[in-house]
Homo-oligomer: A and B are copies of this chain.
Amino acid sequence: MTTPLVGHLDPDFLVIMNETQDMLRQVFGTATPLTFPISATGMAGMETCLVNLIEPGDKVVVCIQGFFGQRLVEVAGRAGATVTKIERPWGDVFDVEQIREVLSKVRPKFLAIVHAETSTGAWQPIEELGKLCHEFDSLLVVDTVTALGCVPLKVDAWGIDATYSCSQKGLSCPPGLSPISFSTRAQEAIARRKTKVQSWYFDITLLSRYWDAERFYHHTAPITMIYALREGLRLVLEEGLEVRWARHLRHHRALKAGLSALGLSYSAVEGHQLPQLNAVRIPAGVDDLTVRRKLLADFGIEIGGGLGDFKGKVWRIGLMGHNSRANCVFQVLGALEQCLLAQGLKVAPGAGVAAANRFYAENY
Contacts and interface: CB of A to CB of B under 8 A. Distances in A.
Nearest to A296: B10
Interface of A: 1-2, 5-8, 10-11, 39-44, 47, 51, 71, 74-75, 77-79, 166, 168, 174-176, 196-202, 217-225, 228, 296, 302, 307
Most buried by B among A6, A77, A166, A174: A174
Contact of A41 (B51, B75, B222): B222
16 contacts: A5-B174, A7-B302, A10-B302, A39-B41, A41-B219, A47-B199, A77-B196, A78-B196, A168-B220, A174-B222, A175-B221, A176-B222, A176-B224, A198-B198, A224-B224, A225-B225
Contact of A223 (B39, B44, B175, B201): B175
B47 A224 contact: no
Contacts of A47: 199-201
Which 9 A-B residue pairs are closest in the complex by CB-CB distance? A176-B222, A40-B40, A43-B219, A174-B224, A175-B220, A75-B200, A7-B302, A47-B201, A44-B201
Contacts of A42: 219-220
A168 B223 CA distance: 10
Given A1-B2, A5-B174, A40-B40, A78 B221 contact: no
Contacts of A219: 41-44
A302 B9 CA distance: 10
Contacts of A1: 1-2, 224
A302 B223 CA distance: 15
Contacts of A10: 296, 302
A219 B167 CA distance: 13
A278 B315 CA distance: 55
Contacts of A228: 224
Nearest to A297: B11
Contacts of A202: 201
Contacts of A217: 307
